[in-house]
Amino acid sequence: MPLITNTTYAGPSVLFNGHLQTIFPALFRKHLSLPFDRERITTPDGDFLDLDWLRQDSKKLVIICHGLEGDSRRPYMQGMAKHFFQNKYDVLAWNFRGCSGELNIRPFFYHSGATYDLETVINHAEDKYEQIYLIGFSLGGNLTLKYLGELLPKSPKIKKSVAISVPLHLKSSCNKISSGENLIYSNRFLKTLKEKVQKKALMFPDDLSTAELHKIKTLREFDDKFTGPMHGFRDASHYYDQCSSLYFLEGITIPTLILNAKNDPFLSEKCFPVDKAHALENVYMEFPEIGGHVGFSPRKRKEIYWSENRAFEFIDSDD
């Protein structure tokens, strides 16, 4: 599909760079009080996932995946959920393992390529709906794209998807977020990830050692020591190579929109694969000049975020 170049996003002038466009909505966007109905389901390996529902007996369902160390109640998740719910869709915003406020019970967490959990969520929900749509933010976007591109049977009810602020190439994006002025972001992620490892080690002392946890200074080091080995990969490089959604785009068979801002401080140049755009049959790529990471703030605070309008426009169209 062609690269979409007539992008319409124009953010507030006061947020004049990618860092401000990332930080402002993350810190100051209003938290909504949506009437979520929480459901806990059991995974095939005996763990659990917590799902947050907005239901109105629609035949159309949107399933939303959050980003690294996020959850279903983050403002960007709630904003997207509210917009689709107000437009007559049911919404399922699910929490990755260990992200719902309660630590999961297996000796591992979640990761960028854990598509087995997304499959569990879809299998659980699909019988109630005629049409299913997928939306993923950041890590959740990578997870969504990888799932769609894997050569495995999928529900024919899945019609379209949108992936926002996606680190399509995990290795180079991890290197970028772990360097220079971006360390402010990686350090925040590392703090909560380390806390989870410490708690998990108390549950599984024979499976997990925290002896070298204090030495870890970057996300790459964390993935090398913990994320990779905990989830069956040799190290960080093996994990990144096996899970980067960039390598799965050719396998996507439904209309899919990738929405990445060029000034996103989390994303490397490899997350803007314009050379692939015309060769992919079902994947649209839209790369606005500005927007930050999971940002895309409106010009006026009471307006709908541009990414929410854009996702709805893409999913709800007849194309």
Q: State the Cα–Cα distance between residues 149 and 167, nearest whole angstrom.
A: 15
Which of 58, 72, 112, 138 is catalytic? The answer is 138
CB 259 within 8 A of CB 176: no
178 catalytic, yes or no?
no
3-state secondary structure of 318: coil
d(CA 81, CA 10): 22
* Under 8 Å between Cβ of 3 and 277: yes
3-state SS assignment for residue 162: strand
Catalytic residue among 90, 117, 223, 264: 264
Vertex 271 angle, CA 99 and 236, to 5°: 55
Record the tokens describing residue 180, joined without a space: 């220079």
CA distance 291 to 307: 9
Q: Which two tokens stand for residue 118?
A: 């997304």
Residue 79, SS3 per DSSP:
helix
138 as an active site residue: the answer is: yes
Task: Tell me, yes or no, if 241 is annotated catalytic.
Answer: no
Amino acid in position 308: E
Among 111, 169, 231, 293, the one annotated catalytic: 293
What is the DSSP pairing of strand 37-42 with strand 48-54? Answer: antiparallel
The catalytic site residues sit at: 138, 264, 293
